[in-house]
Structure 1
Amino acid sequence: MRLSKVLEALGGSLKKYINDADPDLAGIQMDSRKVKPGDLFVAISGYQIDGHQFIQEAIDNGAAAVIGENELEIAVPYIQVFDSRLALGRAASAYYQHPSRKHTVIGITGTNGKTTVSYILKHILEHAGKSCSLLGTVSYIINNEVYKPSNTTPDALQIQELMANSNDEFVVLEVSSHALKQYRIEGLELDYGLFTNLSHDHLDYHPTIEDYFEAKTLMYNYMKQEGSAVVSMLTEWGEKLTDLLSAKEIPVYSMGNNETDDLKIGDIKLNGATRFEVKMGGIVYPLTFPSPGLHNVYNAAMAFLTAIKIGIHPDVITDALKTFPGVPGRFEMISHPEGATFIIDYAHTKDAIEYCLQAAQEHDAVKIKHIFGFRGERDKTKREHMVKASAAMSDEFILTFDDLNGVSEDEMEDELKELNERFGMNKGKVITDRTIAIQEAWESAGMGEWILITGKGPEEYQTIYGLPTSSDKDTLLYLQKQQDKEKIIG
């Protein structure tokens, strides 16, 4: 593709370009080390590294042209823009010939539920005979190939390349607030925009909850002309979003408990198999869903409403929901030999923790234990609320390490002890080694107890712990095997 075609796509983000050259581009890169002869290099002003420092390296590696924000004179065509991140998305979309236009694209944003809703939708679509790519926190799945994710939402260059490589009819995409603020979905066009909920999170990145909400609303700037929104009305933020979208004349399909909602949820039964009803257009659909918890009722209902609007027959959706296999690291259940139930979940907000603990209560757990921690250099303002929620809803809890992210072990241990002393209600203790905390809970588990391990889900450990394991699930399976060995020896 000629550079001139990319320039056309930049639109109002273009500040200055003085050069008659129009090289044929071989590719686009934002990492100077990956530049090959003929590539366009986009210099990003990052939070830790400024890509403008590596422009000469990109040129030495063969860059045919460069996009950046600074005033420069260099040996190859240079395009100065107001924002390199915005320009990257537009340039990548143009280079890959606007790949989102060849798919039905479903974007999902919200604090909790994005991953589960995306997996439910993928399951429904495939049950209906459709092919579906998925880009999210747990994995990227393209043409049935699974890739390890770099972020919840890929960077703008990667996302366009992945969509271009996808031969699937549908693409389901988790959209984080960070991605929206950083223009990672710039150049995409969405058919459906889903909003699950909003609660206290990422206030290390967003100055206020209102700013966090406004970031979420940015997703709806990327709707196709015929695109529509699916919004949960179960929180005040859904109502606020609906008002904003109505002003933009974007059609909204709502889910909730109000008579005016397009889908109304009712007759919820959570003890045992999750059963509930949804009512649409005067018709009541009884649904069964394998995953426990009220939050999963909401996740399944949102997927049901979206699938209906896509055009999937209700009977197909109903059958698909019955056979949903779950999501790795999302309320993943592992049985203990003594009759206890261990749960691994990614929950890392107060609301998400409450959903998990409530599910244990609804299943008449004899005793509820909770193991969790916090990520260093992340939103500290939510930690107190998380400890209070666990202390209120569990019988015992253990505060332990999560990813330290550069925070010293001593500093994190001190904070865990302080939080426990102030808000633990004499129910908690601190065991910094995450694997040892899980081991203690495993060895003391009894019939009917539920032990929830939250915060990391399927993610691998970044810290070296006492047991030779790499994740929460790996730790539980290791303990299970060790117990089996002891029984054989005994």
Structure 2
Amino acid sequence: MKFNLNDLVLKIPGRLKGKLPVEFNSFKVDSREIIKGDIFIAIRGSNFDGHDFAKDAIKNGAVGIVVEKEVRVPSHLFQYLVPVTSDFLIALGEYARKINDAKFIGITGSSGKTTTKEMASLILQEKYNIFKTPGNLNTDLSLPIFMVDALKEKADFVIVEMGIQKEGDMDKLVRIVEPQISVILNIGESHVEFLKDRNGVAKEKFKIMSKSELSILNLDDDLISKLSKNYNIKKFFFSAKERANLTGKIISFSENNMEVEVSYLGKKYKKIFSFSGFTFFYDMLGALSIGVNLGLELDESLDLVSNFSPIKGRGEIVMLPKNIRIIDETYNSNPFSLKQSIKKMERHKDFLIVIVGDMLELGENSPKIHEEAGRTISSVKPDVLIAFGKYAEFLKKGAAVSGLKNIFDFSDKTDVINFLKTIAIPENSIIFIKGSRGMKMEEFVENIKERFENGKG
């Protein structure tokens, strides 16, 4: 169904000044992203007020603005005054979803949302028209605008990442998306600064099931297994054990590929994949579970996923001269994803350098959690461990207690970069790099690449 602005303003209370345009391009909350034909929504944040940028939006081509207080605009443009623009934004997403004939698939988890979404899209597009959230777009500020854009695609299924940070976030996202199929990949210690502990994270994430007809769940996660019993909806479980609807097991793996056996409805299929690690393994099982529930043949889906290329910053392998490999895990980090991704290094035989940045938003337990992370990393016996950030000393302590040598901790990024210039990186080395988004660990990837591109390897 076509988006109708006149219908929208009837559905969402407010006061219209000026005349609504017959056509418009999209909605935006960032004045810098406005192009001709867009409508600007002036959102108030903790450190900014979108109303201060309304004139910039108009200058960039906005045909109208949504505001809480009246702004002087040219007479040919409209403004719609509402009590709270952030509430308008959520109502906008809700309206767009209600007039969309597509079915919605919502994916949440402490890690793996983007990879699972991309794998599921790869599988489903063989049979259906698919539209998906770009990148890691998954918040109540970004999803409403995505829902408007989704109307233009005439998709059969829309795949949406649904990320949370604090209590109440999932309530807003479910109101916007209301996924008929929900997927919960895992419950980790992400955002425990705001959600207290894993139980708080689980409580918030499980709200994704509140409007679902089917929920696809990782049975190997202890909290998912326990809490799913409280929900009386159709459930489909995936697992590395023999007690789920769809099961898989890793037969063999290296740092860049793995052989997996997947079982469903009594049939077993083996496949070699061009990626490796327990994180990818479970993301793949989640994506395959979506596929079989929507009528895709498992063997065909396995063929499609087998050549999946990891996304930049999410396990991508960067090849350098002398067969030196960077495993780029720089997009984000939390205790769960670090533990899962470092496991792929357990059987390494080459010189291993691990560079790890702080895991953020872990609250008062951050020192203890980073110390535990040091012990986890020491189990794969890296030849060099470099810890960076406010909690680097605690990570170093945990690794040292476990008997690891050659540990270096830094609080300043420049010191890390200078140190990297001094260490030898032998032929066939593996360099594993991971940290929270705010640590910008990708700068180390680029620095090392530049070193070899300039012939200084």
Q: Tell me the residue number matched to 1:121.
A: 120
Q: Tell me the residue number matched to 1:268.
A: 251
Between the aligned residues of both structures, percent identity stands at 16
Taking the aligned partners of 2:27 and 2:324, their CA distance within structure 1 comes to 51
Taking the aligned partners of 1:294 and 1:441, their CA distance within structure 2 comes to 32
The alignment partner of 1:187 has SS state of helix
> Within 5 Å, which residues of 2 pair with 1:41-440?
46-49=45-48, 55-58=68-71, 64-68=79-83, 85-94=86-95, 96=96, 98=98, 101-126=100-125, 128=126, 130-135=128-133, 139=135, 155-178=142-165, 180-181=169-170, 183-184=172-173, 186-223=175-212, 227-246=213-232, 250-266=233-249, 268-271=251-254, 273-345=257-329, 346-362=331-347, 364-374=348-358, 379=363, 381=366, 382-395=369-382, 396-401=384-389, 412=390, 415-417=391-393, 419-421=395-397, 424-425=400-401, 427=405, 428-431=407-410, 432-433=412-413, 436-437=416-417, 440=420
Deviation at 1:461, TM superposition (A): 4.5
Distance 1:152 1:439, change over 3 A: farther
**Contact 2:113/2:185 (<8 A) preserved:** yes
TM-score (norm. length: structure 2): 0.77
Q: Where in structure 2 are there 5+ consecutive unaligned residues? A: 53-66
**Contact 1:231/1:254 (<8 A) preserved:** yes
Q: CA RMSD in A?
A: 3.9
Letter in 2 for 1:197: N
**Contact 1:111/1:196 (<8 A) preserved:** yes
The alignment partner of 1:102 has SS state of coil
Deviation at 1:216, TM superposition (A): 0.7
Q: Where in structure 1 are there 5+ consecutive unaligned residues? A: 70-83, 140-148, 402-411, 463-469
Q: Tell me the residue number matched to 1:144.
A: none
Deviation at 1:205, TM superposition (A): 2.4
The Cα offsets for residues 249-300 of structure 1, whole Å up to 9 and x where unpaired, read as x211101145441112236322474112122111112232211112222221
**Contact 2:171/2:207 (<8 A) preserved:** no
How many positions carry a matched residue from both structures?
Answer: 422
**Contact 2:192/2:361 (<8 A) preserved:** no
Taking the aligned partners of 2:18 and 2:294, their CA distance within structure 1 comes to 42
Taking the aligned partners of 2:284 and 2:137, their CA distance within structure 1 comes to 27
Taking the aligned partners of 1:112 and 1:349, their CA distance within structure 2 comes to 8
Taking the aligned partners of 2:416 and 2:336, their CA distance within structure 1 comes to 26
**Contact 2:19/2:78 (<8 A) preserved:** no
Taking the aligned partners of 1:322 and 1:105, their CA distance within structure 2 comes to 25
Letter in 2 for 1:88: L
Deviation at 1:454, TM superposition (A): 0.7
Distance 1:60 1:456, change over 3 A: same
**Contact 2:137/2:143 (<8 A) preserved:** no
Deviation at 1:366, TM superposition (A): 3.3
Distance 1:2 1:187, change over 3 A: same
Letter in 1 for 2:258: T
**Contact 1:341/1:450 (<8 A) preserved:** yes
The Cα offsets for residues 417-443 of structure 1, whole Å up to 9 and x where unpaired, read as 455346644642124326954972895
Deviation at 1:158, TM superposition (A): 1.8
**Contact 2:417/2:444 (<8 A) preserved:** no
Taking the aligned partners of 2:223 and 2:194, their CA distance within structure 1 comes to 19
**Contact 2:106/2:183 (<8 A) preserved:** yes
Taking the aligned partners of 1:301 and 1:165, their CA distance within structure 2 comes to 30
Taking the aligned partners of 2:93 and 2:200, their CA distance within structure 1 comes to 28
Distance 1:48 1:212, change over 3 A: farther
The alignment partner of 1:164 has SS state of helix
